[in-house]
Amino acid sequence: MTESKTIVLLHGFPFNRSMWNEQIEFLGAHGYRVLAPDLRGLGENRVRDEISTMEEMARDVATRMDEAKSARAVICGLSMGCYVAFDFINLFPARVCALVLAGGRAEGPDKAEKQSREQQAKRVLESGFAPSVESILQSLLAPQTLNEKPQVVTRVRQMVAKTDPAGAAAAQRGMAARRDYRGDLTQISVPTLIIAGRDDGVRKPIDAETIHQGIQDSRLEIIPKAGHLMNMEQPAEFNQALLTFLKSL
């Protein structure tokens, strides 16, 4: 199997590998080999630390690739998965044949973001996700999804409800400690697809534009009627964008 036929899918926060179910099935049916790990402390991943850094998550991904005997792959991240993808390509540039960055942001956290993440980490440790799940849904999903796709809303709600508070707090602290990746962008020379949801309430169009302008060999796809969880909200469009890109490699 050629290297660009293996694709690693890195999920967002506070989710797990099941957010990629449609992509796992679709890519598998098109002959791709998919690795979709649960990132540190999330889903079935039982590592529990005070903090799970993006770099540690990236090293875990390399270990997972070693176990799967995959030397190089296409690395695809969504949101927190993009931070992990940036650290992955920085640590292991020779192991990446192409990048897909969905709902991503290169800018590092400022003081206010760090404080807010620490507060959220403490809150989830004290009370779990029950008090915040509805506001998470409102901010991550497009109005169209909230109004017309109850099955997607239910899936996202169930994923959040299953997330372990200790693992989530550690990942939240890891995101607060992440680097500013803007300086990395010009170093990235692999083909890169950037995907943004047109109705994403947590990532601004400028976030995708910054990444697009920084990475020389990149293209930008905007998915209509999609919010931050664009791959679940508009799976057919997301999968088509992904497949077209993969076939171009």
The footprint of ligand MLT (CB under 6 A) covers 12-13, 79-80, 175, 202, 228
Sign of CA dihedral 17, 233, 200, 162: negative
Nearer to ligand MLT, 68 or 202 (CB): 202
Nearer to ligand MLT, 191 or 227 (CB): 227
CB 175 within 8 Å of CB 109: yes
Q: Find the shortest distance in angstroms from Cβ 204 to ligand MLT.
A: 12
Q: How many CA atoms lie within 13 A of 231 on its CB side?
A: 29
Q: Find the shortest distance in angstroms from Cβ 182 to ligand MLT.
A: 15
CB proximity list for 28: less than 8 A, separation 6 or greater: 34
Q: Identify the DSSP state of 188.
A: -
Tokens at 173, concatenated? 């602290």
140 vs 26: CA distance, rounded Å:
23
Q: Find the shortest distance in angstroms from Cβ 174 to ligand MLT.
A: 10
Nearer to ligand MLT, 24 or 202 (CB): 202
Q: Find the shortest distance in angstroms from Cβ 51 to ligand MLT.
A: 15
Nearer to ligand MLT, 11 or 149 (CB): 11
Nearer to ligand MLT, 95 or 228 (CB): 228
Query: CA–CA distance from 206 to each of 36, 165, 167 (Å)?
Result: 28, 31, 30
159 vs 129: CA distance, rounded Å:
11
Q: Find the shortest distance in angstroms from Cβ 228 to ligand MLT.
A: 6
